[in-house]
Amino acid sequence: MQYNDKISIVVPAYCEPSKVKRFMDAILNIDYPDNLIELILIDDCSPVSLEEIAASYGEVFKDKINFLFHRNQINSGRAVSRNVGISLATNSLIMFIDIDNLLEPYAIKKIVSFFHGKHFTAARINIRIDPARLSTSNYLRYFDSRYLGARNIPEGIISTRFFASDGIILTRDIINTIGGFDETFYHYGCEDEELGIRVSKAKYDFYFLPNAKAEDSDTPTLRRASERMVVYASKSFPVLKEKHPECVKDSLFSSYEVMLDDTRLRSKLLINVIHLLPLTTTRKSLLWLCDKLDAKAIKVPDFIYKFVLALSYIEGGKLR
């Protein structure tokens, strides 16, 4: 197949320069014709400016990749950063990917081949953790198991509840019709879910592309996921629920959300009882235990991780 289609890749980053280097080195290994990839790095006011490392790659990319760099004056969040990328992008196919996700050499060919001739379509690529790393951490194994690729889902249409910004591709036609990311989401989470809901409401197809792959090079931890879940439940999800009340049925902890909204005395009493439980103490105790067991040969059951995240969510819900 002859490849002539162009693609813009928007990469928001709030990180140290070493992560940019790792990502850029992967981009250099992409197998795709010269000058058809536009790479847009948005530095969301990282503590150490990414301008110097970006400039060094700008010279390397010359005559191969159209590279643009922008640094936000203040830390503005993922939604704003991605929208800045959209405003700078010049191509009709736009991909959003996180700085930790390293595209495999043939990923862009797989993406472009799928999107050729399509105008109102969205898709998600297959992101996984390197199998060699999974034996080093119980939580890494659990985290990787949550990715779509671990569930052996074939290429095809999937629910937009799987819409996540790490490896999402949208056509310009979709963005022009429903808009970009909602910038009222500043705290962790929901800016991608909200866009996915609008894609669904507009009746646009959303696909999973298992053969378009990237490696998640990050080192996620249960502790970080737990703290993010508290913020997600206390700050971000209430905004999403206000904008799209129907999202509750597909939410992470829908039963809890339904009880929160239920005005009946029984539900109110049950919520009060739940909120009186030692949520924080229990959560932190389990986090300590999971930290101790993380690199051990003893396998931590998945339900422990799910329970910790549920406690984190309820703790966040209590803060509303």
What is the Cα–Cα distance from 257 to 248, expressed in whole angstroms?
Answer: 7
Give the burial class of 133: count Cβ atoms within 10 A of its Cβ; 0-12 exposed, 13-18 middle, 19 or more buried.
middle
Query: Domain 7-216, CATH 3.90.550.10 — does that match?
Result: yes
- CB 102 within 8 Å of CB 93: no
- CB 139 within 8 Å of CB 220: yes
Q: Over the stretch 69-110, which tens digit does the pLDDT of each residue have?
A: 999 999 999 999 999 999 999 999 999 999 999 999 999 999
For 29-152, where are the alpha helices, taking DSSP H only? 51-61, 78-88, 107-115, 131-134, 138-145
Task: Please report, as a single letter, which amino acid is at residue 257.
Answer: E
Query: Which residues make beta-bridge pairs with 227?
Result: none
Q: Which two tokens stand for residue 39?
A: 């790479």
pLDDT beyond 90 at 265: no
Q: What DSSP designation does 264 have?
A: S
pLDDT beyond 80 at 1: no
| Residues in CB range of 187: below 8 A, 6 or more apart | 77, 231, 232, 235, 236
Angle, vertex CA 15, rays to CA 32 and CA 146, nearest 5? 70
Segments making up each domain of the chain, as ranges: 7-216, 222-318
Q: Over the stretch 157-198, which tens digit does the pLDDT of each residue have?
A: 999 999 987 899 999 999 999 999 999 999 999 999 999 999
| Residues in CB range of 5: below 8 A, 6 or more apart | 36, 93, 112, 115, 116
| Mean pLDDT of all residues in 217-234 | 97
pLDDT at 63: 87
